[in-house]
Structures are given as structure tokens and as C-alpha cells.
Amino acid sequence: MIQENKKNSGTWKKDLRLYIHVPFCIRKCEYCDFLSGPANEKNIKAYFEALYKEIRSYKDRARDYSVSSVFIGGGTPSCVDSDYITNTLKELGEAFDFNNDNKLEITIEVNPGTMQVTNGSDIDRDKLIAYKKAGINRLSFGLQSSHDHELRLLGRIHSYSEFKENYRIARELGFNNINIDLMSALPDQSIASWEETLISIAELNPEHISAYSLIIEEGTPFYDLYGPEGKSQDRLPSEDIDRLIYSRTKEILSAYGYRRYEISNYAKEGYESSHNKAYWEGVSYLGLGLGSSSYIENTRFKNTRLLDEYIEQINSNHNNIMSTYSSSKSHINEFLLDKFGIRRDIISLTKNQQIEEFMYLGLRKTEGVSKSDFLNRFGLSMDELYNDLLVSLSKDKLILIDDDKIKLTDYGIDISNRVLAEFLFE
């Protein structure tokens, strides 16, 4: 739970992570309930202009923090002109103090199919070159499957061969830290089909693989088909198959040299995502852009999810806000204030909620949680607080306890949702 970075200048600063939301996609996938959708160029431009203003508003009030990772996610950040991404990073660099110890991780989500070759110009290559020039050093490909029929079922716009071409170009341009997102438990998906996807991707040797199960979210076309009332519910894999998929995923990826470091995330040595780990370790992060979530100093909040409201609020308040900064002395308080009136669902976590999050998020990591960290943070002994629960989960072979660490066993990971819920107080 290290929350501080040491600056070269010798002053200590708090660790901060930044998430930038790009809420645009070429078209909506069948299972997706993320805050994303198609938009015209006029809306995209208005959105980014508001985003730049939001970023600029942190200049001078974020000086107690040092940024060690940035994640540009969505939506599909790669579906917009790369100038928007370049400018976003330029604005971030001017408003925030970036950690200068060479470990700064800057990731962008890229979707194959948003970087096609059009009008004779090689957009794939141009976009990737622009990202590299802007300082992006990690790509996260939203692939999901190596089978075109599964991609079509999910409503993805790309084919596997398009992905492979994008991946090849990324490697050629020198991107040496690449994640590939995969999705299991799809309707009609056999274990053999999932294994083929895993093996095809592992053969490409990316540094990181995220392997999530499909979740049927309310309000999506998939929910109507495969949800509790859906007529095709029986096309989803059973819970037993789902568990088998989890264990086969670990077996196959281990054989290719990947280590599972979180329930659904695998990496080659030294390539765990610093940004993702920060979420599970309770490090502060600031979300910028539509609907993005933040967690700062034990307070959670989200930006509004309404595009028009986000743009209007920022544009109507921007001039007033910027003129007050020069006279401001209280930078920490300024950082925590909702300058534009765009934050929603602001929750200051109680001590119990902080404890729940420490356990619930920390146990997602295969290294588990540390009893001494817990004691330092909350002034309580984990053994005393959770004694009966720890004994019973250990007896059921769901967790492993050693001197300082508690971690999920492989079986515990297979049914992690149930095990983690045990650490909630209510």
C-alpha cells in the first residue's frame, strides 16, 4: 500500500493515477453497458474541448501529487482522430506533475477495426506512430476472441485477421508492452474454442493478457436474449464449465510463461499493469471525462454520465474558475473541490467501508493482502476482526494464510465472487 512517490527534487508527493474516458465507439456491441456510443465529429470535438478544460482546471491544484500511470479508456479511444489523444496528453503533462523515474505507464485502449486502411492512407500505422510520439508506452487491444463467428455474435466490428495486422504493425513500431483483452463464457462457446483463442494469442507472445468472463448486463441486447427471462439463456455455459474455463485458462497461460497476478489478469514477468494494480491497492486515482470514477483521499465520486450536461457545465463555469486559481493558496482543498458541478455520487468511505475495500479489492491479487499493512492502515488486527471467517475459509481451502499474507487459493479464485462477498460487513 505504498501511496507516496519520491520526486527527484527530494520532496515527497502522493501517488496519483489518471483515467481518461473517451465515450465514443463506432457502434455499440451487443453485450456492452459501458458509457459509450457512436457520435459525430461535432460532438467529439465539443467533448474534447470540454475535457481539455477539465484537465486544465487541475493546474496548480494537483501539485501535491505525482502521476505514475495514465489510462486512456472508453469506449474506443482509437476511433477518434489521434490529434485528440495527443492534445489530451499534452494538456495532462501541463496540468499534472508526472513521475520522472522512468516507470510512467501510459496505456491506451485500441480496438481493431477502428484503424482501418482507408482512402489509400495507412491509418493504423499513422495512429500508432502518433500514440508513440505522444508518450504512450502500453497498448491494450480489445480483441475478445480469435474466432470470427464469436466476434460477430458479440457485435464486434473487427475480424481476427484485422487484429493480427494491427498487432503486427504495433510490434514493428516498437510497442513492447501490449495487453490483449479476451472474453470467455460466450453463448455456445465450447471449452475447445476458448482454448484455441488462448493458444492463438499466447503464441503471439503479448506481455499481458486479460481474460474476463462475459457478464450479461441489464439493458443490453444480450440481456434480452440471455438474461433471466431470455429465451436463449440455455446457450450460456453452466457454472461448472465456467469454472473449468478458469482453471484451463491458468494452465494454458502458465505453460506459455504468463503468471496470474489478479483473478483475470496474466502477465509476463515485470509486465503487470501498474495502473490496474493501483486500483486494487487503494491508491488514489482521478477520473477525467464523462462518467469517469475517482477515488481520492478515501472519497469516491463520479463525473456526470450526461454528455450535454458535462459539456455545458464545464463551458459555463470555466472562465470563473480559472480566474480564481491565481489567488488560491489551499491546493489540497482545491484539488478535492468540484469546480464545475460535474461530480455525482460523492461518498466519503467510513472506516468499515475502507476495510471492506481493502479486503475485497486486495484479495483479487494473487499475492493477497498483508496483515501488517492492514494493521498500519486501520490500527486493527485482521486476525481479530475476521478470525472466525478466516478459520472457516481456510478450512474450506478457499484461502491460504501464512505469517503476514492472506490469499485466495486456486479454488477460491474459481468462486471468488462468493468468497470476496464474505468480507463485506452487510
Interaction site with ligand SF4 (CB under 6 A): 25, 28-29, 32, 34, 36, 74-76, 111, 142
**For ligand SF4, which is the closer residue by CB, 29 or 283?**
29
Q: How far is the CB of 139 from ligand SF4 (least distance, A)?
A: 15
The smaller minimum CB distance to ligand SF4, of residues 66 and 146, is found at 146
| Contact in structure between 220 and 33 (CB atoms under 8 Å) | yes
Q: Which is nearer to ligand SF4, 144 or 304 (CB)?
A: 144
**Rounded to the nearest whole angstrom, what is the least distance from the CB of residue 267 to ligand SF4 in the complex?**
22
Smallest distance from ligand SF4 to CB 73, Å: 9
The nearer residue to ligand SF4, 140 or 273, going by C-beta atoms, is: 140
Q: How far is the CB of 32 from ligand SF4 (least distance, A)?
A: 3
Cβ 57 vs Cβ 6: under 8 Å: no
Q: Closest separation between CB of residue 368 and ligand SF4, Å?
A: 31
Instruction: Report in angstroms how near the CB of residue 76 gets to ligand SF4 at its nearest.
Output: 5
Smallest distance from the beta carbon of 384 to ligand SF4, in angstroms?
44
SS3 string, the chain, reads: CCCEEECCCCCEEEEEEEEEEECECCCCCCCCCCCCECCCHHHHHHHHHHHHHHHHCCCCCCCCEEEEEEEEEECCHHHCCHHHHHHHHHHHHHHCCECCCCCCEEEEEECCCCCCCECCECHHHHHHHHHHHCCCCEEEEEEECCCHHHHHHHCCCCCHHHHHHHHHHHHHCCCCCEEEEEEECCCCCCHHHHHHHHHHHHHHCCCEEEEEECCCCCCCHHHHHHCCCCCCHHHCCCHHHHHHHHHHHHHHHHHCCCEEEECCEEECCCCCCHHHHHHHCCCEEEEECCCCEEEECCEEEEECCCHHHHHHHHHHHHHHHHHHHCCCCCHHHHHHCCCCCCEEEEEECCHHHHHHHHHHHHCCECCCEEHHHHHHHHCCCHHHHHHHHHHHHHHCCCEEECCCEEEECHHHHHCHHHHHHCCCCC
Least distance in Å: CB of 109 to ligand SF4?
8
Task: Pick the closer one to ligand SF4 by CB: 14 or 28.
Answer: 28
10 Å CB burial of residue 243 (0-12, 13-18, 19+) is middle
For ligand SF4, give the closer residue by CB, 95 or 180: 180
Residue number with CB closer to ligand SF4 (57 or 76): 76
Length of the chain: 426
Q: Which residue has the cell 499474507?
A: 405
Least distance to ligand SF4 from the beta carbon of 181, Å? 9
Taking the least distance from each CB to ligand SF4, the nearer of 66 and 78 is: 78
Q: Which is nearer to ligand SF4, 15 or 109 (CB)?
A: 109
208 contacts 270 by C-beta, under 8 angstroms: no
Cα 202 → chain centroid: 21
Considering the complex, what minimum distance in angstroms separates the CB of residue 379 from ligand SF4? 41
Q: Considering beta carbons, is residue 61 or 208 the nearer one to ligand SF4?
A: 208
Sheet bearing 369-370, strands edge to edge: 369-370, 405-408, 399-401
C-beta closer to ligand SF4: residue 213 or 354: 213
Least distance to ligand SF4, CB of residue 112, Å: 10
Task: Please list the residues that pair with 255 across neighbouring strands.
Answer: none
* Spatial contact of 419 and 399, defined as CB atoms under 8 Å apart: yes
